[in-house]
Amino acid sequence: MSRPNLHHIKSELTRERLLSSAMIVMQERGSSQLSLQAVAQAAGMTTGAVQHHYPSKAALMMQVLTRLIAELEGSTEFWPSLDWSLQRRADHFVQQAWLRLYSQPRFATAWSAYLAARDDAVMTAHIIDQRTNIQQSLRNQFIASFPELENRPKLDAYIQFVFSSLRGMGLVKPFASNHAVQDQLAVLSEFIQSLAQFTHKT
């Protein structure tokens, strides 16, 4: 049995520490303030040590984006049980998706990073590639949680609309009242239920 490579383990732990520090910098100061120097300061390391693992801001940003996309859109905490009624599943989904993901600081951090990278073709392509795979997983999980929708015409567009609505609420959260958000979440739950009921009737 081979022994673990201690140098490799230490290197991976350091990379994780740097990525965590980079996300803290972005969350507290914004994407525009992300730099190797700022990350080094947040991690309590030298800039040279950061460059050993991430030779440029672009390389660091690429890894940060990968992490943010995985954390942001790969969450499974909000999927309801199939044993529940349609109304309970829809209510649970929109409320938990909002509380656990779209209203959280990491959501704003991620989209701040996405928007900051929109003029960089390489970064944009990376975001699209990473999100495409995760969005397919979200689609499959949504259908598994709401099997009544499986044969609904234009189902993919409706699912995308649901998640676009949640993302939109997340982006305007700083400028909207909690009452307004809750009303919209209730409407979104009703929308999901209406799709399932329409499919069942047809």
pLDDT of residue 88: 97
CATH code: domain 69-201 is 1.10.357
pLDDT of residue 73: 59
Any idea which architecture 6-55 has in CATH? Orthogonal Bundle (1.10)
- Spans of the chain, pLDDT less than 50: none
pLDDT of residue 105: 81
CA distances from 132 to 73, 74, 149 (A): 10, 11, 21
Q: How far apart are CA 39 and CA 35, in angstroms?
A: 6
Domain range summary for the chain, segments of one domain joined by +:
6-55, 69-201
Q: How far apart are CA 104 and CA 14, in angstroms?
A: 26
Tokens 């809750």, residue located: 182
Structure tokens at 150: 């499986």
Structure tokens at 131: 């999100």
pTM (two decimals)? 0.75
